[in-house]
Amino acid sequence: MSTTPTDKRARVFSGIQPSGAVHLGNYLGALRNWVALQHEADAVYCIVDLHALTLPKEPGEVAQGTLDIARLLLAIGLDPRACVFFVQSHVHEHAELGWLMQTIASYGELSRMTQFKDKSGRSTGFISASLFTYPALQAADILLYDTEVVPVGDDQRQHIELARDVALRFNARYGETFVVPEHHIPAAGARVMDLQSPENKMSKSIDSPQGTVNLLDTPKEIEKKVKRAVTDNDGEVRFDPTSKPGVSNLLSILAAATDGDPAKLADQYHQYGPLKADVAAALIALIEPIQARLADLDDATVRAELRLGAQRAQAIAAPVMDRAKQACGLLV
C-alpha cells in the first residue's frame, strides 16, 4: 500500500488560527505565499479553530473569527478550486487522529516545546491542558493529508520535527502508515518588523497597535502609522538591519510591496520623509484591492465555500484515518 500522494505536485499543508487581526507581516511573510503556492503545489489550507481554544474564548468568538479570516483569505486570493480550503473542526478526523498522536508523542517531547513554555510562563491564571498537548493535534493536522511539505517559519520547526518523529514512531510500531513531512521555510517571505519596535517582528500577539499595520486599516491609519515609524537620528537612508533597523524595515516593506530590492531602493532616497510617504502609498495600493474584494464577500458565500472545502478535505482525510485505525489495531 503506497502512502505517497498520486498527484505529481507536492502535497503541502498550512494552517492559520482564527484569532487576532491579520496584519502586514502575516500577509507578506506567509499568506501571499499561500496564494502563489496553490497554483504550484497540491495545497491544503486549514483554519485551525480547535487550536484557538487552547486559550479561553468567549462564546461565539471563535466562530466569528473563523468567518472573518475565511473572508479575508478569499479576498487575498485563495481559490477554493485551486486548493483545499476548510475549517479544522468541520473534519472530525482531525480530533480523532489528534488523540492517536497523543498516544504516540511522549510527555518529554511535549514538555520541551518552547511555545508551551513561553505561553504558560506568561500566564498568571488558568493554563489549559490543551496548551500542552496541542502539538499532537498539529501533527495530526499535517499527517491526515499525506503532507510532503509544510511551509512555515523557523519558529515552527520544532513542531514539524515532532510531526516527523510521531510519524516515524507510528510507522515503526504499526507498519508504514504515514508520509513523513518535510519542513520548508519559504524563501520569498518578507520579514516584517514592528514599526515602533523594529527589533521585534510585527505580531498580533504583542500589544503594539501603532507598530502593526492591519489589512483592515484605512488609508489614513496606514499613513499615520508609517509616518510615525521609528527610524534614527543620523538622517541617512541605507539598508543596514543591524545599525539602522527602523529604516531597513521600511525599505524591506517597500521592497516586498513593490517587488524591489531594499538595498537598491535605499539609493533613491536622501531623507526619511519621502521614504515613509512612498511606503505608505505602496501599502495602500497593496491593501485597497484586498479590502474591495472583502466588501463583495458575504457570509453565505463564505460558508458555502467552507462546506465544499470540508467535503474535499474529508475525502482525503477519511481514508488516512481508516488506515491509521487499522494499523494500530482498532476495530473498524
Active-site pick, 201, 224, 276, 325? 201
Q: Is 117 a catalytic residue?
A: no
What does the pLDDT read at residue 220?
A: 97
Q: Could you tell me if 113 and 162 are in contact, meaning their C-beta atoms sit under 8 angstroms apart?
A: yes
H or E, element range at 13: strand 11-16
What does the pLDDT read at residue 206?
A: 64
pLDDT digits over 143-191, tens only? Answer: 999 999 998 776 778 889 999 999 999 999 999 999 999 988 765 456 8
Active-site pick, 119, 224, 227, 244? 119
User: Distance between CA 321 and CA 313 in Å, rounded?
Assistant: 12
pLDDT above 70 (res 5): no
What does the pLDDT read at residue 188?
A: 45
- Tell me yes or no: is domain 11-190+298-328 CATH 3.40.50.620: yes
What does the pLDDT read at residue 4?
A: 44
Q: Could you tell me if 162 and 135 are in contact, meaning their C-beta atoms sit under 8 angstroms apart?
A: yes
What does the pLDDT read at residue 115?
A: 75
User: Distance between CA 196 and CA 226 in Å, rounded?
Assistant: 9
Same fold, 11-190+298-328 and 209-294: no
Q: Where are the domains of the chain?
A: 11-190+298-328, 209-294
Least confident window among 10-24, 88-102, 145-159: 145-159
Q: Which of 10, 12, 2, 8 is nearest to 46 (CA)?
A: 12
CATH number of 209-294: 1.10.240.10
Residues with Cβ within 8 Å of 56's Cβ and at least 6 positions away in sequence, in order, are 126, 128
* Bigger pLDDT: 179 vs 120: 179
Q: Is 325 a catalytic residue?
A: no
pLDDT above 90 (res 247): yes
Q: Is 276 a catalytic residue?
A: no
331: its cell numbers:
476495530
What does the pLDDT read at residue 187?
A: 56
Active-site pick, 8, 117, 204, 224? 204
